[in-house]
Amino acid sequence: METASFQASFLLSPAHRSSVSTATPHGLAFCGLHKNLLSVKTTCAKVGSHSLTTQNPGKSSSWRVMASGSSNNGTPSSFDYDVIIIGAGVGGHGAALHAVEKGLKTAIIEGDVVGGTCVNRGCVPSKALLAVSGRMRELQDEHHLKALGIKVAEAGYERQAVADHANNLALRIRGNLTNSMKALGVDILTGVGTLLGPQTVKYGKVGFTDKTVTAKNIIIATGSVPFVPPGIEIDGKTVFTSDHALKLEWVPDWIAIVGSGYIGLEFSDVYTALGSEVTFIEALDTLMPGFDPEITKLAQRVLINTRKIDYHIGVLAKKITPAKDGKPVQIELVDTKTKEPKGTLEVDAALIATGRAPFTKGLGLENVNVVTQRGFISVDDRMRVIDANGELVPSLFCIGDANGKMMLAHAASAQGISVIEQISGSDNVLNHLSVPAACFTHPEISMVGLTEPQARQKAEEEGFEVSVAKTSFKANTKALAENEGEGLAKLIYRPDTGEVLGVHIFGLHAADLIHEASNAIAMGTSIQEIKFAVHAHPTLSEVLDELFKSAKVGEHSPVSVKAEPVAV
């Protein structure tokens, strides 16, 4: 509140009053407010006119206008809430919980189900399916079981029960999320939220009267939906997205997966474990783009080449027709660059995993003069929304998939917490390079920070040296005890300062191992410091221990990246 009143007096100074703005939508927004707040109607109108003339681009200033109006009027608060979050996914949930912790009066608007994509149609149910696929793999790997001395007669599964497990998990997590917010006093408002102004939202269900609420700050956290390229016809049965695939309504004999990013990769793990054969269609020239190339190579050996998977790279699925009239799913391929035809595939099903598109339609962005970039809402590094004129929209933030900075559930949550910190008066910028990512195949892939090519490019631009250290899971006692020695951890660092630039892991429980590295990046811990941290023995965490210890900091002998030649 201290900040608010300061801002207000600052704002009402004559100097600012004279500045001119053309941002009409803001005026409209305040009109929207009147309906709701009869008691301060006149004040609103008055201050609203101020706001029209007090645009102060680049500074978060005019959003305090209402606060000033109210304090002048003697009303304790003219806003319904301190924070309203539109979208109760993982990002919104994280923001809401932190807002409560900071003592802010918080509401969250959800038009669908609490939990958003991650909990209902993404990370959560997919983990349930992957839990099954992991066990199926173990039970079917006779060689592996034999090495451990285990005998298993026959592994089978019941599709519906697997699907139920995924669905039940989603329901349970959704319940947990809902309860945690209710317990803390977050108001859950049901309906589709539409911005009427930077501090006003209307929400409501179809067929019901809309309600309007106001807040000092609004956080957009509307997330994303599967992206389906043009030419692909989704029927939800034979051609579908992850939304349908997670329901596991059937297990096709042969499924094409369009896109080999982590969604596609995880589903290939599930489907092949359940008996399907998989064909990847990747538009880029390598499978698994986005991963560190060395990890990609190893992962391809383990996750693709040894499985019933083939792939087409450098091709686009130009047209996909669902199975009908006794014909299978038809996929027309063309070269990504030249667009020349590359033949037709006939498969039983096609999963479209070509990424995700922001879900920002109907959000009323026109009311705050915000124009999206391919649907994404532009934000600065503090998640403040940038409008069509390149200026910050006061009091409006956007976190998560909708801003496209880093489309990960935990990144959204971290962004949300960062925003709440700012609202509460402490500046906070999230270091996205410290946000880890994981792909839950068997074994898992995880990463944080830069890939080796990215690091080398940055090094060249900024003039520093880059070194790489690697350790193998084969040298780890716990991994060998599990008979899971296949794996690699790779550290990319500055040999002069010991700064961790990136860590990439492929191997057993890689997703759980990455956090030591991501914490180091977030905290700015150097390798010299972290290498003295003690790890329990024998654990997989020693893979990272070894990794940090093998780094050569402050020495001038460049680390050989090349494998030792073998004489044969």
Partner 1 sequence: MQLLQEKGCFACDLSSPLQQRAQGARNALSSPSAPPPSHLRMPSKPHVEARVREIFMPALSSTMTEGKIVSWSKSEGDKLSKGESVVVVESDKADMDVETFYDGILAAIMVGEGEVAPVGAAIALLAETEDEIAEAKSKAAASATSSSASPAPAVEPVAPITPTPAPAPPSASSVPPPAPIDDGPRRTIATPYAKKLAKQYKVNIDTIVGSGPYGRITATDIETAAGKTPAPKPQPAATPAPVVAAPVAPAASKPASQTSTTATAVPGTVVPFTTMQGAVSRNMVESLSVPTFRVGYTICTDALDALYKKVKSKGVTMTALLAKAVALALAQHPVVNAGCKDGKSFTYNSDINIAVAVAMDGGLLTPVLQNADKVDLYALSAKWKELVDKARAKQLQPHEYNSGTFTLSNLGMFGVDRFDAILPPGTGAIMAVGASQKKVVATANGMLGVKSQMQVNVTADHRIIYGADLAAFLQTFAKILENPDDLTL
> From the CB of 290, what's the least distance to partner 1, in Å?
21
Token pair belonging to 79: 């806003």
Cα 343 from Cα 311, distance rounded (Å): 13
Token pair belonging to 311: 């792939």
Q: Which amino acid is at 393?
A: V
142 labeled part of a ligand binding site: no
Helix (H) / strand (E) containing 489:
strand 488-493
Cα 270 from Cα 136, distance rounded (Å): 9
* Biggest CA-to-CA distance, the chain: 89
97 labeled part of a ligand binding site: no
Q: Which CB, 375 or 485, lies closer to partner 1?
A: 485
409 labeled part of a ligand binding site: yes
Q: Which CB, 274 or 357, lies closer to partner 1?
A: 274
Q: Coil, helix or strand for 4?
A: helix
Helix (H) / strand (E) containing 394:
strand 392-398
562 labeled part of a ligand binding site: no
How far lies 120's CA from each of 165, 192, 266, 529, 558, in Å? 13, 17, 16, 40, 48
> From the CB of 430, what's the least distance to partner 1, in Å?
37
> From the CB of 231, what's the least distance to partner 1, in Å?
21
Cα 263 from Cα 273, distance rounded (Å): 16
61 labeled part of a ligand binding site: no
> From the CB of 140, what's the least distance to partner 1, in Å?
5
Q: Which CB, 50 or 135, lies closer to partner 1?
A: 135
Find residue 60's DSSP bridge partners.
none
Cα 449 from Cα 316, distance rounded (Å): 29
> From the CB of 103, what's the least distance to partner 1, in Å?
45
Q: Which CB, 279 or 526, lies closer to partner 1?
A: 279
- The count of other CB atoms within 10 Å of the CB of residue 256 is 27
Instruction: Note the Cα 267 to chain centre separation in Å.
Output: 17
How far lies 257's CA from each of 265, 331, 386, in Å? 9, 11, 36
> From the CB of 557, what's the least distance to partner 1, in Å?
20
Cα 375 from Cα 220, distance rounded (Å): 13
> From the CB of 283, what's the least distance to partner 1, in Å?
19
395 labeled part of a ligand binding site: no
- The count of other CB atoms within 10 Å of the CB of residue 34 is 16
Angle, alpha carbons 297-299-303 (nearest 5°): 130
260 labeled part of a ligand binding site: yes
Closest CA to 472 of 487, 493, 492, 491: 487
Cα 332 from Cα 344, distance rounded (Å): 5
**Given 93, 165, 509, 537, which residue is catalytic?**
537
Cα 297 from Cα 390, distance rounded (Å): 41
Q: Which CB, 458 or 470, lies closer to partner 1?
A: 470
523 labeled part of a ligand binding site: no
Helix (H) / strand (E) containing 431:
none
Q: Which residue has the tokens 């707040």?
A: 37
193 labeled part of a ligand binding site: yes
> 187-190 and 192-197: which strand pairing?
unpaired
Cα 487 from Cα 351, distance rounded (Å): 28
91 labeled part of a ligand binding site: no
Q: Which CB, 347 or 420, lies closer to partner 1?
A: 347
127 labeled part of a ligand binding site: yes
**Residue ranges binding partner 1 (CB under 8 A):** 136, 140, 153-160, 251, 253-254, 273-275, 277-279, 297-298, 301, 305-306, 308-310, 327-328, 343-346, 348, 562-568
How far lies 460's CA from each of 293, 463, 495, in Å? 19, 5, 14
| Whether 174 contacts 167, CB under 8 Å | no
Instruction: Note the Cα 28 to chain centre separation in Å.
Output: 33
> From the CB of 151, what's the least distance to partner 1, in Å?
13
180 labeled part of a ligand binding site: no
Q: Which CB, 3 or 344, lies closer to partner 1?
A: 344
Residues near 48 by Cβ (< 8 Å), separated by ≥ 6?
27, 30, 31, 33, 65
Q: Determine whether 504 is an active site residue.
A: no
| Whether 195 contacts 211, CB under 8 Å | no
Q: Which CB, 155 or 357, lies closer to partner 1?
A: 155
Q: Which CB, 279 or 369, lies closer to partner 1?
A: 279
> From the CB of 293, what's the least distance to partner 1, in Å?
11
- Binding-site residue numbers for NAD(+) are 259-266, 282, 355
Any idea which residues carry the catalytic annotation? Answer: 537
- Binding-site residue numbers are 127, 193, 222-224, 259-266, 282, 355, 401, 407-410
- Binding-site residue numbers for FAD are 127, 193, 222-224, 401, 407-410
